[in-house]
A and B are shown apart, each in its own frame.
Chain A
């Protein structure tokens, strides 16, 4: 066939119209984009559930994407800004207020009871996903802050493992003993937690204080913060914890914590990260609550939704989104795939189903979260906007104290000043 200008044009136009036909056929199929942060293990489980959802809902296709925690938030923010938000958004307690108030999330109240059957969820955990009286996030699991302990290192040093009654005084003594035992090279008792916000919050709550008030103001004073920094300065002095330049290697990820780097016998994290921590540590780990300020202290811990699924306000079909979320937290087959990787499931039925099937790690996590008893208090209100910056300020001031640029008292004043300013700016 001889190619003429006309035949090429006609051919091109035909191709164009075919491809338009094809794309209009595709758009008949509902497509759900799901975005989450987390490890490869989480991605494998989530993708499996996505496939299951597709096969049970003909005509629906899912498309999953995942990133690490720190890359996740810039990506999500740019996608929302570009009117290209994923339909299903994994959301954190820290950000849910910010996203909900800015109108980026769809309220799910209309689907409660019909599509979204979360009646057997703990009431407090449902409220955790509510902002200004509307439900914006469904909890994917409960967790609590926890200390990760290297049991082998404790044994080597000949000291007893921490117990639920262990106080900060005990911890300082034990830490110094482990360092002194010197069984490993460059190894110390515990990680320097002076800049770790959940640990600071736990300590404040035992004192009857908190990080933030209900209306988003600072809820502790310079004396509290100064006492906190002074406690850590004493532990640093006694070499109960790692030196500041080792602690500064910690980027607050599983892999860079002093525990995983083989620098300390204990570190601070969240209970649902237990699996991930054990994954990168050869020695057997154990979970323990954070130390107490005195033998009879209470209420430092709290059970919180480890993360939520939210439906984007830009989603074409929010009802389908709600259906997907319901499938994720309620379907027995989905539950079997997901296990307790995102925390202890909120649904009582799912918990019962999973309990006998759990491995040792999952068991330990479930027991830890459900066995906190009086150590756990009420869920604090969601952090106000600016909370992320406030966390950053704690870390920076803690470093200024640990590297000797400020003493504990100056550190306390600086921190309270900076956090108050950040919160008033919003």
Chain B
């Protein structure tokens, strides 16, 4: 017990000694200390769980780290192999870009359509909004991916419905020509978060513009084309960038639906899935780290390209 009392005294003494010396630092602390303390959980998370591993993976991308033995420096060998001698890199990149190009426009169009329908002042808006948002909360989960397998398998619900019309469908999820489409449909179904943002954007458009247009005899379609779309371009742009990044990063649906293989015939081999296979299936953590940094670069290029073209089609009111 004596030791306990000693340590308590020591702590108390330390607390008393503090304010005297380091003037400037102490002043900053008194002024902003509380703020930094509130930021602390985020800062710890950012440095320990995001920035630290990112820096480590950058280093590892120049090594042959295999998870068990210690890493050996191999220079740019990993990057050279990716660029020149890896057919699966090209195959997985192609699958991913097809997925992005298909899923993002369909998803945004669908989200906009639902947002416009919901914006017509129907009763119980909050209820519908919540219901339509639900798939976005569930969509990334394993349970939904498993459900998707059940729906689109050979004797799944979709083929049972098609059978009513005399159509005999293939096993959609396990046919190389159709499997990517089941993933696109799954992505479009999670239209909730762009829809909410579209809905907010639609409410920003002043109603007097529509009134003036209809007085001039503009049809509903013309109003949508000439008023809604141009004024909504900043929101469309935002959604497009966010959804494109999300689509590049998609992993769970392909992992669950193909059982981790990316099959059949690599038709669902997303870039992230290939990266995962290399890291944890084939023990090539160094190579997988290099793949990850290439992905960062690709997403960066796509985003930069979006921003560069945005000045030609995004209309800012102010």
Which residues of A are interface residues toward B (Cβ below 8 A)? 5-6, 9-10, 13-14, 17, 70, 73-74, 77-78, 80-81, 98-99, 102-104, 186, 244-249, 251-253, 256, 263, 386, 388-389, 392, 395-396, 399-400, 403, 405
Contacts and interface: CB of A to CB of B under 8 A. Distances in A.
B171 A392 contact: no
B42 interface: no
6 contacts: A14-B1, A81-B285, A103-B68, A251-B260, A252-B259, A396-B265
Given A77-B67, A103-B69, A399-B265, A389 B7 contact: no
B8 A6 contact: yes
Contact of B154 (A6, A246, A395): A246
A10 B265 CA distance: 66
A97 B174 CA distance: 33
A400 B4 contact: no
Contacts of B39: none
A9 B11 contact: yes
A159 B282 CA distance: 44
Contact of A248 (B3, B67, B174): B174
Contact of B170 (A73, A77, A245): A245
Task: Summarize B's interface: helix, strand, loop or mixed.
Answer: loop
A186 B264 contact: no
A70 B174 contact: no
Nearest to B6: A13
Contacts of B263: 248, 395-396, 399
B59 interface: no
Given A74-B280, A395-B261, 10 more contacts: A6-B8, A13-B8, A73-B281, A81-B68, A81-B285, A244-B175, A245-B170, A251-B259, A392-B261, A396-B263
B140 interface: no
Interface string B266-282: 10000000000000111
B67 A78 contact: yes
Given A245-B171, A245-B175, A13 B283 contact: no
B281 A74 contact: yes
B7 A186 contact: no
A20 to B, nearest CB: 12
A390 to B, nearest CB: 11
B283 A6 contact: no
A392 B266 CA distance: 11
Given A245-B154, A392-B261, A403-B264, A77 B175 contact: no
A410 to B, nearest CB: 14
A17 B261 contact: no
Interface string B242-266: 0000000000000000011101111
B70 to A, nearest CB: 10
B108 to A, nearest CB: 31
B280 A77 contact: yes
B153 interface: yes
Contact of B176 (A10, A104, A403): A403
A14 B67 CA distance: 41
Nearest to B5: A10
Contact of A80 (B11, B67, B265): B67
Task: Summarize A's interface: helix, strand, loop or mixed.
Answer: helix
A102 B69 CA distance: 6
Contacts of B8: 6, 9-10, 13
A405 B27 CA distance: 72
* Nearest 3 Cβ contacts at the A-B interface: A251-B259, A248-B174, A74-B280
Contacts of B174: 245-249
Contacts of A396: 263, 265-266
A336 B154 CA distance: 42
B259 A70 contact: yes
Contacts of B261: 251, 392, 395
Interface in B109-154: 153-154
B12 interface: yes
Interface string B199-222: 000000000000000000000000
B224 to A, nearest CB: 41
Nearest to A77: B67
A99 B176 contact: no
Contacts of A9: 8, 11-12
A271 to B, nearest CB: 23
A256 B259 contact: yes
Nearest to B279: A74
A200 to B, nearest CB: 17
A389 B280 CA distance: 12
Interface in B1-23: 1, 3-5, 7-8, 11-12
Given A77-B283, A246-B154, A389-B282, A70 B176 contact: no
A17 B282 CA distance: 45
B69 to A, nearest CB: 5
Contacts of B67: 77-78, 80-81
Given A9-B8, A9-B12, A186-B154, A248 B264 contact: yes
Contact of B171 (A10, A17, A102, A246): A246
Contacts of B285: 81
